[in-house]
Structures are given as structure tokens and as C-alpha cells.
Structure 1
Amino acid sequence: MPPKVRYEEMFPDEVEAALKKASVAYVPLGSLEWHGPHIAMGNDTLKIHAVCVRIAKRTGGVVLPPTFWGISTGGQ
């Protein structure tokens, strides 16, 4: 089983071990914005969170839960 990298799924000892191997914490930030009726409002943030998870699985570290930063009301 591949090592866990998502902070919200880890136990304290797993976080400690992961950070000893690679002292990196990824902070995925993205916006909530209208893309049209075909894509979810949080698509940008969800994509960057997935990218952070892939990177952490390759290089180590812990991925914090995504933060939705800002909101766009245009384009509706």
C-alpha cells in the first residue's frame, strides 16, 4: 500500500514519520468560480489538491486539506 500523504487521513505518528522523511507540507489553494454549467465551482482547487497529492506520493511530505480562497461571482 502506498504511504498516506493526505493530512486529514493520517494518524499523528504517520504525520511525524512523513515529515521526518521530507519536511514539506503542501498547502493547496484555489478559488471558487463559475466556469459554466459543465464544471464544478471548486474545480481549480480540486485539481491543484490532486496535483499536490501526486507530487507528495513521489517526493514525500504531507498535503494539507484544500483551502478555497476567494470567490468569483462573474460569468453567471
Structure 2
Amino acid sequence: MAANATAGDIVEVKLELDSGHREVELHSDLNAALVAAGLREQFEARTYSTRREFARQVAEAKAEDTRKRRIEKVVAALLA
């Protein structure tokens, strides 16, 4: 929705709390690692943005060894 406002105009802004839980699609290897380490609950307790970023890092890995290293980093971050 366009504001049709210019510099100096007074505008009204309405903020609404988004309290819903948003799902993040996980690579199967990341999900398996989280379950094996007993960290799935800790993962879900993180903010949507954090979960999305962890999932993105793993999903964008082109090589399997890169994906494994990134999964290890996610697990380490959740254990910290």
C-alpha cells in the first residue's frame, strides 16, 4: 500500500504484534542432526529470523562437506 506522502507530511503508522509461530523448512540433514543431538526444541525456541538464517546457510551449501560443516556450526551455536 503506497503512503502517498512527501517529506514533511504527518503520517499515521499502525503496528501490530505478530505473535504467530512461523515454520522454517529444514534440509533433511539439518533436521536429522538436530534430532540426534536433542536440539530440535532449542532450535524451535529461537526467533524466526535466526531459524531461517540457520536453515538458509545449510540449504545453500552446494557441496556435501560444506553442508556438514555448516550443520556442525548450527549445532555448536545451539549448544553455546
TM-score by length of 2: 0.35
TM-score by length of 1: 0.36
Task: Considering Cα pairs closer than 8 Å and 6+ residues apart, tell me whether 1 or 2 has the greater RCO.
Answer: 1
Between Structure 1 and Structure 2, whose CA radius of gyration is higher? Answer: 2
Higher strand share: 1
